[in-house]
Structure 1
């Protein structure tokens, strides 16, 4: 018995000694092979407008796709004079030049070397663009700053030659922003009257304030807030009357007796009529910087302070470890070890550098295990470190045991960070075998993190009815890359296995979405799938199925004479959009619901809001277990240093049938359907562009009224229908002659006719868009075809504040129709519009 005890004690002693030795060796290695992230080193630039810096630019060490660099725009007057500044931050500037290019970057307009005036670390530039610009047309302006013989940094902005009252609009925005810190000044200047205070405004939190909030909420209530620095200002969009601005600056205030700081972003949309300035929209978001102190841990949870309640977080299966994102930084908390570690942040705590605070990057937590290891993505613009000045995806792994972060792979990306974010939000997933799946430019990629391999799983998937499970582990798409077909490809990203789902003879199949990891899809008879004269599809599904990856049908929905055309998925409920078909007529029915009984697992750590007297509603993370706040260990991991490159370049063809939607702050989505893109941009008071950066739609108009005077009335007769007359009129307007009647008689639909005959034009099916949305086109001298349910058609060729101007072949005239009456008429006929750009 004694020998057994002695052996046990000896074993424990040897084990402990071994752990100590291993730890010493590991730590010794870390001392040699790890280091903190280097400080930012690249200069910044800005446009100088009437002595004020606007449109701040951050440098790129890689050549970007010019068409997608839409961070800011500067209107320049007829003299075409531009002033700019380069902030060197101690870095010597060897030379500066610029390139003026077409908006897609393909055509070089001019390039010129610049000389400037040095004032300390700053280089001031003043130059005049040549008389080669078209008034009212946007161009890309690229500054090239040489730091030495081998390093060249690029800075991107847009310019337009136009007098759009920038000074007046800018003065209003900056004055309004300043006044938000003084309630009396805010009231005296009449800004409170410009708000649209109503029940839509949330007056319970400073995290999000908008035009519908009270003036007290906009002026920070009783919270004593101090602006630390002057705002950075970006002109996002500008038109003759309207303009959109974004302001960003840090603030400080007192919370619980301690001084804390936060990042504030303001969005303004204004309209200037020459004598009155209107505030069309206002939004302010505040995100408190997370203070890495044990005092943030309380019995109520981990206190984040003033911030968005939708915290990005992911936990381990057991809930003992979770990672979360706060104010542009990524953290992980391990409740078993009571340790909090900051895994990644570009902010420099020792040097509050403006370059490091610039937030044009995002995080995606891919995996968290029970030991505290985390696999994550940092993607977008890289402020500092190994990839400073690059845009791309850094795949990283945090080792909890060694307390180090190591980059596994870096994927460079030459388009904007916003477009990259929109794709990765669709799909980014890693399985237990270190297989990474990403959507990039409409392609699904498989990347081997171990062997650094890459291959396309499926290309052009954004036009293929693709659906992804909420946890990204399941993927489905049409095999023939259409919205529907005879076969679905169903892929389990954990195993990498692929299975096919067949519609069956005489049927078509369409993926609708996922409930958890189970696929929802519909079956329609090929005979009942219809296309109208415009080319719009009707896909009436007589059966809806929910199926798991093993092929088990979990639920089925089918009712005689009832067809499903779409669905919405909300938590455990599927709402089915239904119709009936009788004698070729479509009748809408009320929605029906499928309840899904399988439990969706709830998170053990979750974010909630809590009310405080001092800072109104704050956000905290309720923890799986209550920590001992006094014993919380705060860790700052270092980065693993390695030689060579771990770069993977993805060489795949970009899907050309995608529409980029821009909102208040930048890209808000990528759509395959132009009508969906236009609706989304209009609601966000934004814009839609194609892959070449050309506008396809904007909320802002160039004119308060306009009419295409080159289009006259023309009659329909027995030989030409009104639809054929409208098509012929469009072709004549575009300088060509076509026989639209014969093309229609041959069975071609309107979209096909226009697409095959309007060279170098993008034809847009805008069914479902409102009249107000499509007036963008006659504002730009482009007619809009409107097709009625009886097959007749008119052209929308103009508008003013009260009327819309129509060319109607049934009357052979051009006439005005009241705006409200026209809206009602088009709505009753399904808002079936077709335009082009």
Structure 2
């Protein structure tokens, strides 16, 4: 017994001494904030989809959950057994099993989930066949999340859209794309390529940075250049229907230029159509961006070579003396001290021996906020993090570069749960760091101020609608209306971003004020009388301004515009000229206003005298290339010395978590050419662009509301009982009643006929589905809704509405409540009629 007690005492003493020793050692090895390290290498696996033509649709892993319907980068075709085989390039990790979920892409309800532990080892990859048991609807998109579980228990999420299409002819479509792609890179095998092009003499053939199906044959074939492939070709399927499909191919090439061998990152977009007789190339587009190489700087001319590029508005910033320069090129931030003639690669995910598929994954960007006289730079990295501490996460990270120590220090880390394509629409708008370490940024239609010293977060603007806010980075202030609803703002708030002081511009009693934009950092404001407010036919508020003022940061009125009987409804700025879009009062219009000719305000400009700018140089071989000029006051005798940075190890938590919901403002994203091309408040504007670029439109809930190429040749909605106009029921309200019935809601005439309300107001109140204003679209574009079983209200003249219920190759059929009958009209005449009435269309989405 005593022996056991002694043993226990000895163990306790050893334990206490060990704790003391370990504690001392831990304290001695504690990392201080001044310690530095390099960014860790990429570790995450890549998942591919197996097809008869090899691996396609590389999927990148996310460490956090994201709504699968948000990510539209790829679409995966299921086989006839509703199965798909995935191949996992594990890299340095070991994947033990995968879990999967299938969700409805519109409602985001869970349809099926499962798990697969029996993975097959094939070469360096592991494969798994996912077979979906629930019967999926043909030709409908679903969202799929695949989670790889590693040997350490880490979960990595991959996302794709899936679709079941019988006889999709994927092999034939891909073979056609590959044939064109390889022929372009190998001129000896290019026979017949010219027959697929639609060369247009008006096309600009001055740069290899951008070509499309309308470019000359010589431009498409790279002219006298001979690009050599130096990377794998990454193939993504972005859209797939029974006849048509879209593909994006990305790769790197080397080109022998006038200054040496350069590398280009190339992106090709193909939209093709299959028929039993032949294949068609519906659209082709190629973009090329030269990799920046400091060795190709022109010492004699004092220019940094940017090379072949589409970025004429290359993001760059200088200190006040214009001796220190920073710029972003190829997702890399560079700093150039022109006096010391040293250049620093401040931030990049690429490595010396870079992995093109992972390090060069382009779903992120860098935004420069400022640079001071010492060369210190505040910048934001946002989107998907390719490697490093936050690998696999989507985030907004504020960094500061200290030029003397050549180090980068993390200031704020904001985790996000949306993909880069969605995030960039917010971050491209506004972010700013002041001298008191307050970080201003905009996300989800809100503007925040975060004090990095006190760790206090403040919401500055809760409804930051782009139409109601003006941002001046140069003069360090923002301005917004106190009410985002048009015609209800009584004042403009101006916030000095350096001092935090607010000032106000107030409208007179019985008036409202609105923001039209800015010119030379000055506000363009409009003053609107309440008595002049009116509503357009589609329910849009019209707020015509009787007076326009240009006002500076100090609220000094620099110029006013006021012309009797004319009102301004919009303003656009081109250089130093403001174009005022005007209306004039009239009794013949339902809105009491008619379009009038524009007027113009010439504004005095102050030249900034900047000696640094992006210029072009044209040669016979290379055509147009871009250069960044260096001030003539800087004398260069040799090429700059190149340095790299290290990251500061941060011991304190820099995380800022935002508890914000998605914006309630209607947003419509245009997804085309493999990316989001823009975001609009008006669905019609988004549809027009998507039609032009052969893409689709997604709303703020990531439902597809319109898709190019999906409309049937003919369609009929036969379940609608005609409702005709009467003394208590206008044609517009009769159409609203029929559209409600089409959506599954029946209302009485008394419910909608005794109020002076717009169609959208009525639909919003009673419809269980989502009404949508398609105004601005063409007749051809809105027939997509009829094809999907949803009727469309159309204005045929001032105040007269019809309901479109049917169409074929030649005619459309409409119920006309005013005439009391259903009638047909030819496409051409119908289009003219609706266009003359303003192309006002209203329908709904599921």
Fold equivalence (TM over 0.5): yes
Q: Distance in 2 between matches of 1:464 and 1:597?
A: 24
Q: Which residue of 1 aligns with 2:640?
A: 632
Alignment of 1:527-546 (within 5 A): 527-546=531-550
Say which of 89, 93, 96 aligns to 2:95. Answer: 93
| Aligned partners of 1:247 and 1:266 also within 8 Å | yes
Q: Displacement of 1:41 after TM fit?
A: 0.4
Q: Distance in 2 between matches of 1:380 and 1:780?
A: 35
Alignment of 1:412-491 (within 5 A): 412-462=415-465, 465-469=468-472, 471=474, 473-485=476-488, 486-491=490-495
Question: Any idea what SS the aligned residue of 2:483 has?
Answer: coil
Of stretches 467-476 and 373-382 in structure 1, the one that deviates more from structure 2 is 467-476
Q: Which residue of 1 aligns with 2:730?
A: 721
Are residues 1:242 and 2:251 paired?
no
Q: Distance in 1 between matches of 2:420 and 2:330?
A: 17
| Aligned partners of 2:487 and 2:530 also within 8 Å | no
Residues 328-372 of structure 1 deviation map (CA, whole Å, 9 limit, x = unaligned) = 211011112111111111111134453101111111100012221
Judged with a 3 Å threshold, the aligned counterparts in structure 2 of structure 1 residues 450 and 63 are, in CA distance, closer, same or farther, namely same
Q: Which residue of 2 aligns with 1:663?
A: 672
Q: Which residue of 2 aligns with 1:159?
A: 162
Q: Displacement of 1:627 after TM fit?
A: 4.6
Q: Distance in 2 between matches of 1:67 and 1:98?
A: 14
Q: Which residue of 1 aligns with 2:793?
A: 785
Judged with a 3 Å threshold, the aligned counterparts in structure 2 of structure 1 residues 78 and 185 are, in CA distance, closer, same or farther, namely same
Of stretches 773-782 and 617-626 in structure 1, the one that deviates more from structure 2 is 617-626
Say which of 748, 751, 754 aligns to 1:739. Answer: 748
| Aligned partners of 2:670 and 2:678 also within 8 Å | yes
Are residues 1:252 and 2:254 paired?
yes
Are residues 1:798 and 2:806 paired?
yes
C-alpha RMSD over aligned residues = 2.2
Judged with a 3 Å threshold, the aligned counterparts in structure 2 of structure 1 residues 515 and 807 are, in CA distance, closer, same or farther, namely same
Are residues 1:551 and 2:558 paired?
no
| Aligned partners of 2:511 and 2:529 also within 8 Å | yes
Q: Distance in 1 between matches of 2:474 and 2:748?
A: 52
Q: Which residue of 2 aligns with 1:809?
A: 817
Say which of 529, 550, 555 aligns to 1:525. Answer: 529
Residues 458-494 of structure 1 deviation map (CA, whole Å, 9 limit, x = unaligned) = 2232376233337583323221221232222232323
| Aligned partners of 2:46 and 2:58 also within 8 Å | yes
Question: Any idea what SS the aligned residue of 1:527 has?
Answer: helix
Alignment of 1:140-151 (within 5 A): 140-151=143-154
| Aligned partners of 2:106 and 2:704 also within 8 Å | no
Question: Any idea what SS the aligned residue of 1:355 has?
Answer: coil
Q: Distance in 2 between matches of 1:261 and 1:274?
A: 40
Q: Which residue of 2 aligns with 1:501?
A: 505
| Aligned partners of 2:234 and 2:357 also within 8 Å | no
Q: Displacement of 1:269 after TM fit?
A: 2.1
Are residues 1:648 and 2:652 paired?
no
| Aligned partners of 1:316 and 1:322 also within 8 Å | yes
Judged with a 3 Å threshold, the aligned counterparts in structure 2 of structure 1 residues 567 and 652 are, in CA distance, closer, same or farther, namely same
TM-score (norm 1): 0.92
Q: Displacement of 1:98 after TM fit?
A: 1.6
Question: Any idea what SS the aligned residue of 1:522 has?
Answer: strand
Q: Which residue of 2 aligns with 1:619?
A: 626
Q: Distance in 2 between matches of 1:472 and 1:360?
A: 31
Tell me, which stretches of 5 or more residues in structure 1 are unaligned?
1-28
Judged with a 3 Å threshold, the aligned counterparts in structure 2 of structure 1 residues 804 and 508 are, in CA distance, closer, same or farther, namely same
| Aligned partners of 1:751 and 1:763 also within 8 Å | yes
Q: Distance in 2 between matches of 1:804 and 1:167?
A: 37
Judged with a 3 Å threshold, the aligned counterparts in structure 2 of structure 1 residues 527 and 229 are, in CA distance, closer, same or farther, namely same
Judged with a 3 Å threshold, the aligned counterparts in structure 2 of structure 1 residues 742 and 102 are, in CA distance, closer, same or farther, namely closer
Judged with a 3 Å threshold, the aligned counterparts in structure 2 of structure 1 residues 267 and 472 are, in CA distance, closer, same or farther, namely farther
Q: Displacement of 1:184 after TM fit?
A: 4.1
Q: Displacement of 1:619 after TM fit?
A: 1.2
Of stretches 769-778 and 482-491 in structure 1, the one that deviates more from structure 2 is 482-491
Q: Which residue of 1 aligns with 2:693?
A: 684
Q: Distance in 2 between matches of 1:603 and 1:30?
A: 41
TM-score (norm 2): 0.91
Q: Displacement of 1:294 after TM fit?
A: 6.8
Q: Displacement of 1:714 after TM fit?
A: 4.4
Of stretches 739-748 and 376-385 in structure 1, the one that deviates more from structure 2 is 739-748
Q: Displacement of 1:439 after TM fit?
A: 1.3
Q: Distance in 2 between matches of 1:300 and 1:43?
A: 44
Q: Which residue of 2 aligns with 1:107?
A: 109
Q: Which residue of 1 aligns with 2:55?
A: 53
Question: Any idea what SS the aligned residue of 1:98 has?
Answer: strand
Are residues 1:117 and 2:125 paired?
no
Judged with a 3 Å threshold, the aligned counterparts in structure 2 of structure 1 residues 732 and 342 are, in CA distance, closer, same or farther, namely same
Q: Distance in 1 between matches of 2:623 and 2:452?
A: 45
Q: Which residue of 1 aligns with 2:578?
A: 574
Q: Displacement of 1:303 after TM fit?
A: 1.1
Q: Displacement of 1:688 after TM fit?
A: 2.0
Say which of 823, 843, 846 aligns to 1:835. Answer: 843
| Aligned partners of 1:72 and 1:157 also within 8 Å | yes
Q: Which residue of 1 aligns with 2:27?
A: none
Are residues 1:695 and 2:704 paired?
yes
Q: Displacement of 1:428 after TM fit?
A: 1.7
Question: Any idea what SS the aligned residue of 2:412 has?
Answer: strand
Question: Any idea what SS the aligned residue of 2:638 has?
Answer: helix
Judged with a 3 Å threshold, the aligned counterparts in structure 2 of structure 1 residues 718 and 501 are, in CA distance, closer, same or farther, namely same
Are residues 1:606 and 2:620 paired?
no
Q: Distance in 2 between matches of 1:477 and 1:31?
A: 39
Say which of 488, 492, 496 aligns to 1:492. Answer: 496
Question: Any idea what SS the aligned residue of 1:724 has?
Answer: helix
Q: Distance in 2 between matches of 1:101 and 1:242?
A: 24
Say which of 578, 586, 594 aligns to 1:587. Answer: 594
Judged with a 3 Å threshold, the aligned counterparts in structure 2 of structure 1 residues 499 and 785 are, in CA distance, closer, same or farther, namely same
Judged with a 3 Å threshold, the aligned counterparts in structure 2 of structure 1 residues 587 and 32 are, in CA distance, closer, same or farther, namely closer
Q: Which residue of 2 aligns with 1:13?
A: none
Question: Any idea what SS the aligned residue of 1:94 has?
Answer: strand
Say which of 749, 752, 763 aligns to 2:761. Answer: 752
Question: Any idea what SS the aligned residue of 1:775 has?
Answer: helix
Q: Displacement of 1:169 after TM fit?
A: 2.0
Q: Distance in 2 between matches of 1:262 and 1:351?
A: 15
Question: Any idea what SS the aligned residue of 1:78 has?
Answer: coil
Question: Any idea what SS the aligned residue of 1:179 has?
Answer: helix
Q: Displacement of 1:719 after TM fit?
A: 4.4
Of stretches 308-317 and 382-391 in structure 1, the one that deviates more from structure 2 is 308-317
Residues 235-272 of structure 1 deviation map (CA, whole Å, 9 limit, x = unaligned) = 22223333222110011121246332121011122233
| Aligned partners of 1:609 and 1:620 also within 8 Å | yes
Are residues 1:771 and 2:774 paired?
no
Say which of 66, 77, 80 aligns to 1:78. Answer: 80
| Aligned partners of 1:443 and 1:654 also within 8 Å | no
Residues 593-634 of structure 1 deviation map (CA, whole Å, 9 limit, x = unaligned) = 111113152532111111234422211111124452525221
Q: Displacement of 1:141 after TM fit?
A: 1.1
Q: Displacement of 1:298 after TM fit?
A: 4.5
Residues 512-550 of structure 1 deviation map (CA, whole Å, 9 limit, x = unaligned) = 011122111101211111114531222221100011122
Judged with a 3 Å threshold, the aligned counterparts in structure 2 of structure 1 residues 489 and 700 are, in CA distance, closer, same or farther, namely farther
Tell me, which stretches of 5 or more residues in structure 2 are unaligned?
1-30
Judged with a 3 Å threshold, the aligned counterparts in structure 2 of structure 1 residues 136 and 52 are, in CA distance, closer, same or farther, namely same
Question: Any idea what SS the aligned residue of 2:831 has?
Answer: helix
Q: Displacement of 1:327 after TM fit?
A: 1.4
Q: Distance in 2 between matches of 1:534 and 1:391?
A: 39
Q: How many residues align?
A: 806
